[in-house]
Amino acid sequence: MSDSRDLVPTKTLVRHGTVGIGGIVGGGVLLILGSLGGPWAFILGGVLAVGGAIVAASSAEDRVAGGVVAGAGILTVLSGIGFGVGGALLSLGGIGLIAAGAVGAYRFLKGLRARR
């Protein structure tokens, strides 16, 4: 039985769960974007770039998230052109996000087990 010193605070547990889910889903999306080719890369990349720029310009608290989405859109367009660095960076970012999400999910599950 665990005592109160082993309990992870609820706020920390929620943060670890959010990082876990967000990282795994975001990494999967980046891997999918990196594998797109042809006109789909231009269409989806353009929509992401413009949408991310609009979010970054309109909201101060969402500036970083909008910039990341706009960057992913630009890299998607570059990978559609055949510029190899765009697809490679999307793949590398996707793998990194999945790894960070797995660590967050592990910490979440570990903290959740400590509450039993």
Q: What is the mean pLDDT of residues 30-44?
A: 87
Beta carbons within 8 Å of 54's beta carbon, 6+ residues apart: 66
| Single-letter code of the amino acid located at 72 | A
Whether the per-residue pLDDT at 73 is higher than 80: the answer is: yes
Specify the residue for token string 């055949």. 82
Could you tell me the two tokens for 94?
Answer: 């996707």
Is 83 strand, coil or helix?
A: coil
Could you tell me if 24 and 63 are in contact, meaning their C-beta atoms sit under 8 angstroms apart? no
pLDDT: which is higher, 78 or 7: 78
Q: pTM for the complete prediction?
A: 0.78
